[in-house]
Amino acid sequence: MEHPQVTPFPSGFLWGASTSAYQVEGAWNEEGKGPSVIDKAVFNAELSDFKVTSDHYHHLEQDVALFAELGLKTYRFSLSWARLFPQGTGELNLAGAAFYDRLITLLVQYHIEPLVTLYHFDLPWALQEKGGWSDPATIDAFERYARMAFERYGDRVKYWLTINEQNMMILKGEVIGTLPPGTPDPQKALYQQNHHMMLAQARAMIACHQMLPTAKIGPAPNISCVYPASARPEDVLAANNFSAIRNWLYLDLACYGTYNAVAWSFMREKGYLPTVTEQEMALLRAGKPDFIAFNYYASATVGAEQSAHAREQGEPTRAVDQQLAGIDTRVYAGMNNPFLKRNQFNWYIDPVGFRITAREIYERYRLPLIVTENGLGAFDTLEAGNKVYDDYRIAYLRQHLEQLQLAISDGVEVFGYCPWSAIDLVSTHQGIGKRYGFIYVNRDEKDLKDLARYKKKSFAWYQQVIASGGQNLNPQIEY
């Protein structure tokens, strides 16, 4: 569908940017913070760990001033559960609570709307030791933690996100999940964890609505449209299967309080069915989101089986990135997509898929959407004069914003866009070298250097885009 005239971005659109606590804050064991699963995980020893990261904890004022200069209308960040409750439950760590007080108050002073994720991959280690999300007590701990956050910050925070990329935690359980290595029957355990997280989310949404009647809360999964490798019906069916298992399982539970039928039959067939009670299903139906936040990096392509060509070329399936996380080759095979380019990390780049994804979500759930992650990871180079000429990132973001605007023109209700990431931070698996930020942080994988902040060319670009309210996605940039 072509629009002779595109619809402008709505007034009051939340132009933003995102981070998460464990990737940006550093101060991993300071002022009473407890360890999280991230602090205990074993990562690639050649790459940065998560101890100092961008040291945002000690650069708070400087960083927020830069976000204000960028012109952000919203800033999406996560609270570190283990900074607030070092034991996951029990005593609140007042120093940790004061840190987020400072951050939120600063944002409000700069007229930047705080958009707060309660939980972004970093479960407190103390809870993990007791079984983590396999233990129903973690549901109670999450509700208690969420209630504290609503009570303490609810006077200044209107927008809340429950759990970041729950689907990736389940589908990539071995990497960012919370499953201890060696767990017997890991898939079954993960789907039980998924059910528990859904209950925790529902309880948090109910508590939010009770405690803060004017606040809004929603889930934040990673959603990608799924293309069939060909028009062959079996491939189309495979794409349909994968979309149910990767995407709709999570959003159907969050929005309708029901299990997606295809995903349910997949779990039954494989012996992964969680234990579920009627009372729990009633709770899931009662917890309703006000909006859907979603993260999008690229589309996924799947087929019913490997193509003969791919086999001959020794190209069995495409490299598995997060878009194809949890691919179960008995149900579908991840395929390359010859129509798309890739980035330096082999992730596809698919701006049109972004429009398709937004349409699919809106058509299914009819809730307002906000994009909470979208961006390009790249090896940036710091050049003379402390400049970073990241035209590739500008191109990526511009193309995605053009498609988002087309989605809005298609009738999709979108109220904000928060690219990943506001400032350089440590990638989930690929170190600090995989940079996403508008602001360069001067450090290497192992050498912390001076952690100075430098504005990239994309900073100047986004600043003008925001200043124009999205009317000019291709501004003249002086840099």
Q: Which residues contact ligand BGP (rule: CB under 6 A)?
A: 20, 23, 164-165, 168, 222, 295, 322, 373, 377, 420, 427-430, 434
**Could you write out the DSSP letters of every residue in 244-292?**
IIIIIHHHHHHHHSS--HHHHHHHHHHT-PPP--HHHHHHHHH---SSE
Q: Pick the catalytic residue: 25, 113, 360, 373? A: 373
* d(C-alpha 416, C-alpha 373), whole Å: 11
State the minimum distance, in angstroms, from the CB of residue 358 to ligand BGP. 18
253 versus 293: smaller Cβ distance to ligand BGP:
293
117 versus 138: smaller Cβ distance to ligand BGP:
117
State the minimum distance, in angstroms, from the CB of residue 388 to ligand BGP. 18
209 versus 393: smaller Cβ distance to ligand BGP:
393
23 versus 192: smaller Cβ distance to ligand BGP:
23
Q: Is 165 a catalytic residue?
A: yes
What does each C-alpha distance from 92 to 96, 122, 149, 423 come to in angstroms? 8, 17, 11, 28
Q: Checking DSSP bridges between strand 439-441 and strand 453-455, what pairing results, if any?
A: antiparallel
* d(C-alpha 103, C-alpha 58), whole Å: 11
- SS3 label, residue 372: strand
* d(C-alpha 84, C-alpha 99), whole Å: 10
165 versus 360: smaller Cβ distance to ligand BGP:
165
CB atoms within 10 A of CB 123: 22
93 versus 162: smaller Cβ distance to ligand BGP:
162
Q: Which residue is nearest to ligand BGP (CB)?
A: 427
Q: Is 129 a catalytic residue?
A: no
* Contact present, 335 and 302 (Cβ < 8 Å): yes
- Cα–Cα nearest to 399, from 319, 337, 340, 454: 340
Element (H, E) at 107: helix 94-109
- Cα–Cα nearest to 27, from 104, 93, 115, 89: 93
CB atoms within 10 A of CB 261: 11
113 versus 122: smaller Cβ distance to ligand BGP:
122
State the minimum distance, in angstroms, from the CB of residue 139 to ligand BGP. 22
379 versus 385: smaller Cβ distance to ligand BGP:
379
Per the rule left: phi > 0, alpha: psi between -120 and 50, beta: everything else, 32 is left
Q: Residue 74: CB partners within 8 Å, gap ≥ 6? A: 14, 15, 16, 112, 113, 114, 115, 159, 416, 418
State the minimum distance, in angstroms, from the CB of residue 75 to ligand BGP. 15
State the minimum distance, in angstroms, from the CB of residue 349 to ligand BGP. 13
State the minimum distance, in angstroms, from the CB of residue 434 to ligand BGP. 5
Give the residues across from 441 on adjacent strands: 453
Whether the bond between 421 and the residue before it is cis, its omega within 30 degrees of 0, is yes
What's the DSSP call for residue 57? G
* Contact present, 418 and 76 (Cβ < 8 Å): yes
State the minimum distance, in angstroms, from the CB of residue 220 to ligand BGP. 8
State the minimum distance, in angstroms, from the CB of residue 121 to ligand BGP. 7
Give the residues across from 159 on adjacent strands: 115, 216
CA R_g for the chain = 21
Q: Residue 155: CB partners within 8 Å, gap ≥ 6? A: none
State the minimum distance, in angstroms, from the CB of residue 70 to ligand BGP. 19
Q: Pick the catalytic residue: 25, 113, 143, 165? A: 165
209 versus 246: smaller Cβ distance to ligand BGP:
246
Instruction: Report residue 416 as tokens.
Output: 């904000």
* d(C-alpha 382, C-alpha 384), whole Å: 7
Residues across the chain: 479
- Residues tagged active-site: 165, 373
